[in-house]
Amino acid sequence: MELLTEGLQTYLEQHCDPEPDLLRYINRETHLKVSKPQMLSGHYQGRVLSFLSKILSPVRILEIGTFTGYATICLAEGLTKDGIIHTIDINEELEEQVRTHFEKSGFVDRIHYHIGNAEEIIPTLEETFDMVFIDADKKNNETYYDLIFERVRPGGLIIVDNVLWYGKITGGATDGRSQHIRGFTEKVVNDHRVEKLILPVRDGLLITRKL
């Protein structure tokens, strides 16, 4: 189930900043050549991520789940001049394509692209993050949240994608993935260390601000 009607989605895209040419290209290439293209953030959510990043002006960002690099580039748009984004993905088959996208982005020197298991890579990053975007395997949302929480500065943002899961969460779905997402979201709602809200953007963005 789509959260937004096609007409509303079109209206939203027409009334935010236009999709940059490179991101439009990545969007098209992903849908043409990559399996599960619905994993890509897309125009409107990409502008939301870029907007949040620009408000925060982060020095350090962590992204868990690179896919084809669309959201990575959106987040990088808000980095300070000396800022860095670390992005982690386990799919080495996409590496060449993703690196090409980064080389064209103008941010290649500020994107540190890691291929491997995020649970193993995160502890090796000796950074304090201003912003974290979790958009990987949903069953491990809680693991990633716990791994990065102490590494996020007070006032920093932790953003988690797909928390409405195609409408299944509010529709009462009982499959394993829906239960993982629902349980994780309830954990965050009851975490008094953060302020939190869900934006019904694309597939649901859970945004938390560390106190």
**Sheet of 60-64, strands arranged across:** 111-115, 84-89, 60-64, 129-134, 152-161, 205-210, 194-199
Classify residue 135: in a domain, yes or no: yes
* 0.95 surpassed by pTM: yes
Phi and psi of 204, rounded to 5°? 95, 115
Looking at the structure of the chain, the number of domains it has is 1
Quote the crossing angle between the two packed helices 95-105 and 21-33, to the nearest 10°.
170
Rg (CA), the chain: 16
Task: Please determine, for residue 1, whether its predicted confidence score (pLDDT) is greater than 70.
Answer: no
Predicted local distance difference test score (pLDDT) of residue 119: 97
Reported as a single tens digit per residue, the pLDDT across 75-114 is 999 999 999 999 999 999 999 999 999 999 999 999 999 9
- CATH at residue 142: 3.40.50.150
Classify residue 165: in a domain, yes or no.
yes
Please report which confidence band the pLDDT of residue 207 belongs to, taking 50, 70 and 90 as the band edges: very high
Predicted local distance difference test score (pLDDT) of residue 172: 87
**12 within domain boundaries:** yes
126 in any annotated domain: yes
Residues 131, 30, 10: CA angle, nearest 5 degrees: 75
Tokens standing for 62? 């962590």
End-to-end CA distance of the chain: 34
Contact 115, 92 (CB under 8 A): yes
| H helices, E strands: number in the chain | 8, 7
Calculate the CA 30 to chain-centre distance: 16
Q: Would you say residue 195 lies in a domain?
A: yes
- Asked whether residue 96 is domain-assigned, the answer is yes
Q: Is the pLDDT of residue 166 over 90?
A: no
Does position 154 have pLDDT exceeding 80, yes or no?
Answer: yes
Query: 201 in helix, strand or coil?
Result: coil
Instruction: Specify if 137 maps to a domain.
Output: yes
pLDDT tens track for 46-62: 999 999 999 999 999 99
Angle at 166 between CA 188 and CA 159, to 5 degrees: 35
pLDDT digits (tens, 9 = 90+) for 167-179: 899 888 999 999 9
* pLDDT, position 17: 98
- Read off the pLDDT band of 3 (50, 70, 90): confident
- 1, part of any domain: no
Domain hosting residue 71, numbered range: 6-210
